[in-house]
Amino acid sequence: MKAAVESDCNRGEGCFNPEGCDKSGPIKCFHRYCDKFKWVIDRMDHYSQKTGIPPEDLLDRFEEKRDYWYMNYYQESQQPKIDGDSIEVRVFETFEDYRESIGKIGFRCPRCERISNDPVVCDQPGCDWKAYGLFGTLGKGVSVFVKDGIHLANIFKPVAWEEQVELEA
């Protein structure tokens, strides 16, 4: 990722600062590549503190999965803070722990509000909403981080988790 940011910086303003844009004056670099680099490094440090996984391993895994421009890939909606305000993030040790927690009921589609068997594409007739689409989960979904394999996904909220909230209230 660092090489990609440096390359973009060299094509733009010709500068790179891993601590964020340091251009003086009221105008920063147009695309703010250095700021994105710092955001990614800070977010990997945050994930490391919350999961115990080294930040280098986290970044390597995210980079393996990234198949489009880093400026669009790395953002709050894709890599929300764990215990942050923007979206609920649940952390699991293994996929088995995750599967056990969701049960067999299904996932609540944020658009039609019916139950889908698929966590990211609504399978209900007349609705094909996607958690990875332009509007995502409309603020009604969750993010799941599985430590084993370093996997992060934004999904529709499992119905089993809705029932847990009701029981706890």
Q: What's the pLDDT score for residue 59?
A: 97
The answer on 20 and 99 residing in a single domain is no
The answer on 91 and 65 residing in a single domain is no
Q: What's the pLDDT score for residue 169?
A: 47
Q: What's the pLDDT score for residue 96?
A: 96
The answer on 118 and 41 residing in a single domain is no
Q: What is the pTM of this model?
A: 0.83
The answer on 14 and 25 residing in a single domain is yes
Q: What's the pLDDT score for residue 25?
A: 55
CA–CA distance, 44 with 152 (Å, rounded to integer): 12
Domain that holds residue 137: 77-169
The answer on 95 and 62 residing in a single domain is no
CA–CA distance, 34 with 16 (Å, rounded to integer): 6
Q: What's the pLDDT score for residue 143?
A: 93
The answer to whether residues 51 and 145 touch, using CB atoms and an 8 Å cutoff, is yes
Q: Which two tokens stand for residue 145?
A: 């981080």
CA dihedral angle for residue 67, residue 72, residue 74, residue 79, rounded to 10 degrees = -100
The answer on 60 and 31 residing in a single domain is yes
pLDDT along the chain (169 residues), means of 10: 87 80 66 90 96 97 94 90 83 96 94 96 95 85 94 94 61
Which of the listed residues 42, 57, 75 is the one where a domain comes to its end? 75
> Considering only CA atoms, which of 57, 77, 51 is closest in space to residue 132?
77
The answer on 135 and 108 residing in a single domain is yes
Give the 3-state DSSP-derived string for the chain, with helices as H, strands as E and coil as C: CHHHHHHHHHHCCCCCCCCCCCCCCCCCCCCCHHHHHHHHHHHHHHHHHHHCCCHHHHHHHHHHHCCCCHHHHCCCCCCCCCCCCCCEEEEECCHHHHHHHHCCCCEECCCCCCEECCCCECCCCCCCCECCCCCCCCCCCEEEEECCCCEEEEECEEHHHHHHHHHHC
Q: What's the pLDDT score for residue 132?
A: 87
Give the number of residues written for the chain. Answer: 169
Q: What's the pLDDT score for residue 8?
A: 85
